[in-house]
Amino acid sequence: ATPLATRSAFLGSRAGGAVMEGLLALAAADPASTPLVNCALRPLLYPTLEAAESSYLVQCNEHRGSSESVGVRFQVSEFAIPAERCASALSELVRALQAPTASGERLYLSFPVDIRYSAADDIWLSPAHGRATAWIGIPAKR
């Protein structure tokens, strides 16, 4: 089996799901441990990703399914913004993650931010109506 197939099989197994659940539970109980948890999970979820900050991970992924294929329940807050504003929105997100909150704590993400793009469409109630759209998804463990 290829390394990618072996990794996918492990992450889709009960043992892989239990490992991820345990690491994410640790990050939820002690948010300051999130950088360590991200360092442990990054090679499992994104083995080809070359560089990432340890306290947060923002990536643009060609194929979807990395976090969806894992047996971990999570919810995603997804934002649809004009595509040309994506870079500035991500810069603002990084600034928010680096700055302390009013109580002096830092915010941490325990899953990578998902970024995707779609072309403009002609459906009136669509967030992509009449414009190219960037979709920024911020997952959180349930």
Those residues whose C-beta lies under 8 Å from the C-beta of residue 38, and which sit 6 or more positions away, are 52, 54, 55, 56, 57, 109, 110
Model pLDDT, residue 66: 47
For β-strands 74-82 and 133-141, DSSP reports them as antiparallel
The per-residue pLDDT for range 6-55, each reduced to its tens digit, is 666 776 777 877 888 888 888 888 888 888 887 877 777 766 655 544 44
- To the nearest 10°, report the CA torsion of 75, 95, 36, 116: 40
Burial 45-67 (b: 16+ CB within 10 A, else e): bbeeeeeeeebbbbeebeeeebb
Instruction: State the CB neighbour count (10 A cutoff) for residue 37.
Output: 22
d(CA 108, CA 58): 12
Name the token pair of 133. 């759209």
Residue 102: give the domain boundaries.
Answer: 3-141
- The pLDDT, as a whole number, for residue 4 is 60
- Looking at per-residue pLDDT, the higher value among 69 and 76 belongs to 76
102's CB contacts (< 8 A; 6+ apart) are none
Report residue 124's pLDDT band, with 50, 70 and 90 as the boundaries: very high
Please report the pLDDT score of residue 70 as a whole number: 54
Q: Which residue has the higher pLDDT, 59 or 31?
A: 31
Which tokens sit at 124?
């009136």
pLDDT: which is higher, 78 or 31: 78
- For residue 109, pLDDT beyond 60: yes
Number of domains in the chain: 1
